[in-house]
Amino acid sequence: MRGRHWIAPPKGVTVNERDIRWRLWVPLAIVVATVLAYVNAFGNPFLFDDEPIIMANPHTQSLFPLVLAGRWLVNLTFKLNFAVGQFRVADYHATNLMIHLAAALLLFGWVRRTLLLPRVGEVWRRHATGLAGAIAGLWAVHPLQTQSVTYICQRYESLMGLCFIATLYAFVRGVQTRGRKAAAGWFGVAVLICMLGMGTKEVMATAPLVVLLYDALLGACSAREALTKRWLVHVALWATLVCLWVMERQTFGLVAQEGGGVTVAVSPVSYLLTQMQVIPHYLRLSLVPHPLCLDYGWPIVSAWQEVVGPGSLLVGLGVLTLVLWIYGRPAAFVGLWFFCILAPTSSVIPIPDAAFEHRMYLPLAAVIASLVLGGFWLLRRLYARTRWVRLAMVAVVLLLGAGGATMTHHRNLDYRSGLGMWQNVVAVRPQNYRAHLNLTSALLTAGRAEEAEATAKVLLDRLDYCRLVDPGDVPEWGRTPAEVVLHREVRYYTIAHNYMGVCRIRQGDPERAEHHFAEAVRLNPGFEHAKKNLARVRSAKEKPRRGGASLSD
């Protein structure tokens, strides 16, 4: 420990055997608690997007060629999983859990070393190991993380989080290391990990900015010192964005060659207003993680009056963060971490879905850190004796950790089947029409045609106005929020009619099935499944065949 690059503790802080033991036992406790929380997820099957991303994707079934485009690093891990055990689902879950564990341990190490920095108060330095362990442990077992860990294809989020935290950990090691060569080595590791992280998910683009803010608030005496003393490190980190730009260009080029594309007809202002509702919802789930939902189908907000309440809370937090930043307070970094990492998905850049819980994978650390550090500060103010403060903190953390791990364990059960998950989503978000359609499909797959028909009928009743819509009035995508809603709801309406037709066929009623298929084709002439089903029903009426017609859901 006292070798060439050992870091002397800050003035007034002693390193004793108790602290060394805590540094060994706290990571072990984090690992045990996290494994117990997720151990029942290993038998869960591939679900939803796992099929097109993993099972039906021929690119994941061979290690080569390795295309350095888009999210290639995560895709490489899928290739390695297939090479080891093909589609043995437990291997994929084990990999997800190991990524999450590595991220939690690095979060512990990074927060602990951050609390030992000179710009942090002596009180925080004295309790750095315990506070860092509480933050990382609660973050690891929080139920909000299940979508990034239990849902296999969301490895994109968790591996990005691992690279993000590893970049910061390597950077703070470089800041704290005295030897010039050793420090340069750690900074080089930070740049390398950041560059690799650009191959996980686009949110990684905020890492260079977050590291710069971190250095300005905590690593150096001022922002000017951070830029002058370590300017080369920051330039190298920002240069990794070139790798992201090149890979994204290749990705969109491949999509264009295949005739695909992404069109989002929502204005940046409408999307920002929507996030004024979504982000406070994320904050509520961080405090009370129930009920959780796989697919919100969050409606786009078109008027600012709809977000006055939650928007005021968000603006208040933003102003508080800005004031703390102006005064150079290290506490500002918690807010900057939260807002910067959410910015690519939850600000003014419209993306197809306004809300997903996995987007809180990293921002959740800021919320938990503010609660743990704020709670410790409050207890210190209320009680003078440190021993009682420490005991109270341990009791609260253990209670919250046990509750979070239990809820996570229970949430994993919802991922045991697509049918069970969609039933959960419909119960939580009854206005999510896409969830109704997916539940109908799952019920049909399970051979429960009568229940599927009832579910589809609910959707048809809610979208009854669509039967009066002329096909020529349906926009291709929509230029306004109203047109976007009309396009989407007509599409859902036609899919529901197709499902109703399949239900009728399975119940021996081809006459009424024909009506549903015809209505689907009327509003959406390009709906291939409905066109084929309609043709087969009419063909069966003209030339009855033994066994009936083969239908396409």
What percent of the chain has pLDDT above 70?
A: 90
Token pair listed for 345: 């998905």
Is the confidence at residue 262, as pLDDT, over 70?
A: no
Is the confidence at residue 11, as pLDDT, over 80?
A: no
Please report the sign of the dihedral spanned by the C-alpha atoms of residue 46, residue 68, residue 360, residue 137.
positive
Token pair listed for 500: 């109703």
pLDDT in tens, 76-118: 999 999 999 999 999 999 999 999 999 999 999 999 999 999 8
Q: Cα–Cα distance between 360 and 341 in angstroms, integer?
A: 9
Containing 141, the helix (H) or strand (E) segment is helix 128-141
Is the confidence at residue 419, as pLDDT, over 80?
A: yes
Determine the pLDDT at residue 259: 38
Instruction: Give the pLDDT band (50/70/90) at residue 3.
Output: very low
Domains of the chain (ranges, CATH numbers): 264-382 (no CATH), 418-542 (1.25.40.10)
Is the confidence at residue 390, as pLDDT, over 90?
A: no
Q: Cα–Cα distance between 101 and 30 in angstroms, integer?
A: 8
Among the residues of 17-88, which ranges form H helices? 17-38, 50, 72-85
Instruction: Give the pLDDT band (50/70/90) at residue 475.
Output: confident
Lowest mean pLDDT among 91-105, 277-291, 296-310, 424-438: 296-310
**In Å, how far are 252, 271, 349, 543 from 264, measured between CA atoms?**
15, 10, 10, 45
pLDDT in tens, 321-365: 999 999 889 999 999 999 999 999 999 888 888 999 999 999 999
Q: Cα–Cα distance between 166 and 186 in angstroms, integer?
A: 11
Q: Cα–Cα distance between 51 and 210 in angstroms, integer?
A: 34
Q: Residue 447 — left, alpha, or beta (φ > 0 → left; ψ -120 to 50 → alpha)?
A: left
Q: Cα–Cα distance between 14 and 201 in angstroms, integer?
A: 41
pLDDT in tens, 156-168: 999 999 999 999 9
Is the confidence at residue 266, as pLDDT, over 70?
A: yes
Instruction: Fill in the amino acid letter for 28.
Output: L
For the chain, the average pLDDT equals: 88
Lowest mean pLDDT among 4-18, 60-74, 198-212: 4-18
Q: Cα–Cα distance between 233 and 242 in angstroms, integer?
A: 15
Segment 110-132 shows an average pLDDT of 91
Determine the pLDDT at residue 160: 97
pTM for the full predicted model = 0.90
Instruction: Give the residue from 403, 406, 381 showing the smallest Cα distance to 392.
Output: 381
pLDDT in tens, 184-207: 999 999 999 999 999 999 999 999
Is the confidence at residue 509, as pLDDT, over 50?
A: yes
Determine the pLDDT at residue 550: 54
- CB 217 within 8 Å of CB 333: yes
What percent of the chain has pLDDT above 90?
A: 67
